[in-house]
Amino acid sequence: MKDIPYARQDISQADIDAVVRVLGSAWLTQGPAIEQFEEAVAAYCGARYASAVCNATAALHLACRVLGLGPGDLLWTSPNTFVASANCALYCGASVDFVDIDPRTYNMSVDQLAAKLARAEKEGSLPKIVVAVHFGGQPCDMAAIGALARRYGFAVIEDASHAIGASDGAAAVGSCFHSDITIFSFHPVKIMTTGEGGMLLTNRAEIDARARLLRSHGVTRDPSLMDQPSDGPWYYQQTELGYNYRITDIQAALGLSQLARLDEFIERRRMLARNYDLLFDGLPLIPPFQRPNAQSAWHLYVVRVPGDGRKARSEVFTKLRENGILVNVHYIPVHTQPYFRKLGFQVGDFPEAERYYEEALSLPMFFGLSEGDQERVAAQLSRILA
Ligand SMILES: *Cc1c(COP(=O)(O)O)cnc(C)c1O
């Protein structure tokens, strides 16, 4: 029997045709497909501005740069995330710290965030930026985080790498209703793909303008941004230290075509999640909890295998893999990585994220997963857990 991966992109003939059209055009990069993709994502999410970049890690780095993060500053995020959500602070010479997770949603705990902010205010060590990660596609409680941001004066980046197509009440993720910036990832394991790719959304013109400048070397052709008159039509100026974080038109065309299918992708993932819920009813597993009002994009379907620490989960993981069900684990708590231990973090610092990690299991979840595949997963799970 064929292996079932935990995630997989879905590429249609229309997606392929869109890419091939760009390959025959005058523009492989810095052309019109990029702007079309940006405008379409901004409109879909209800944000004013969107700038496409080469991946979400670059978008996080630009977000931190644009928000002025630098040496001596602090960025806080969740330990239950991919390392990129924390590394963006280190790229800027700033320091990183974590806020432990909520035991039910596995997102950053708002209660713990509030308590840590109150302590930090007394000690004079408030963060400049909080990165809220919408783990598995379920949005964080952004109204609550936004209220804390106003009270304590920090900026908010939503790491929505898992969550394009999700919503929190009436607000679509990406609308930046309670944040300064939202970033998306278009890596093939995510909800929709451009191969590699990312985007930075905001409602503030000055954030968008600086992100665009920094994604392309900090170089401008706009005379109003220059410190002297132009030498001629060839003239450009570098006004800041930027990067080459551009996306290509080839990727943007794929993204635009995938975006047209996003609602279908999300609908299918929601159906698959409901179906897993029904199939696992009665098994000794903790199913994913959904916050009322939150509409997850279902990037991940994570169950917890309760037991004597990581042994139970590891056994289930190994036996599923032996049977062609290529499960995964999200995430190894970032603070326990050797690089972060060298920065002073220790195992035990964020116990809820560590307890969660010992039991977590990401089951196959992607657009092309069939009901038959899901029944195979359920049959194997009930056999292994019996
Ligand atoms: C995938 C991911 C990233 C990085 O995305 P890239 O596009 O691969 O750079 C960042 N944060 C989270 C939570 C992710 O899952």
Among 372, 362, 165, 185, which Cα is nearest to 267's? 165
Distance 157 CA to ligand 1 centre (A): 13
Q: What was the pLDDT predicted at 307?
A: 81
Report how far apart, in Å, the C-alpha atoms of 188 and of each of 10, 176, 192, 198 are.
Answer: 9, 24, 7, 11
Over residues 13-60, the pLDDT tens digits come to 999 999 999 999 999 999 999 999 999 999 999 999 999 999 999 999
Split at pLDDT 50, 70, 90, the class of 180 is: very high
Q: What was the pLDDT predicted at 309?
A: 58
Question: 52 near 247, Cβ under 8 Å?
Answer: yes
Percent of the chain exceeding pLDDT 70 equals 99
Q: What was the pLDDT predicted at 292?
A: 92
Query: In the structure, which protein residues have their CB atom closer than 6 angstroms to any atom of ligand 1?
Result: 55-57, 81-82, 84-85, 133, 159, 161-162, 185, 187, 198
| Closest ligand 1 atom to 197 CA | 7
Q: What was the pLDDT predicted at 200?
A: 98
- CA 265/CA 33 separation, integer angstroms: 22
Q: What is the mean pLDDT of residues 85-113?
A: 98
| Closest ligand 1 atom to 190 CA | 1
Distance 57 CA to ligand 1 centre (A): 6
Q: Is 150 exposed, middle or buried (0-12, 13-18, 19+ CB in 10 A)?
A: exposed
| Closest ligand 1 atom to 186 CA | 7
Bridge partners (DSSP) of residue 49 are 202
Q: Is the pLDDT of residue 311 over 80?
A: no
Distance 162 CA to ligand 1 centre (A): 8
Place of tokens 């985080």: 145
Type and span of the H or E element at 312 = helix 310-322
Q: Which of 9, 57, 135, 247 has most ligand 1 atoms within 8 Å of its beta carbon, as the pocket-test mutant?
A: 57
Over residues 330-356, the pLDDT tens digits come to 999 999 999 999 999 999 999 999 999
Q: What was the pLDDT predicted at 310?
A: 61
| Closest ligand 1 atom to 198 CA | 7
Split at pLDDT 50, 70, 90, the class of 386 is: confident
Residue 14 makes CB contacts below 8 A (sequence gap 6+) with: 257, 260
- CA 3/CA 326 separation, integer angstroms: 7
Q: Is the pLDDT of residue 297 over 80?
A: yes
Q: What is the mean pLDDT of residues 312-321?
A: 96
Over residues 249-290, the pLDDT tens digits come to 999 999 999 999 999 999 999 999 999 999 999 999 999 999
| Closest ligand 1 atom to 60 CA | 10
pTM, two decimal places = 0.98
Distance 137 CA to ligand 1 centre (A): 12
Distance 159 CA to ligand 1 centre (A): 8
Sign of CA dihedral 284, 288, 291, 294: negative
Split at pLDDT 50, 70, 90, the class of 248 is: very high
Query: 3-state SS string over 213-233?
Result: HHHECCEECCHHHCCCCCCCC
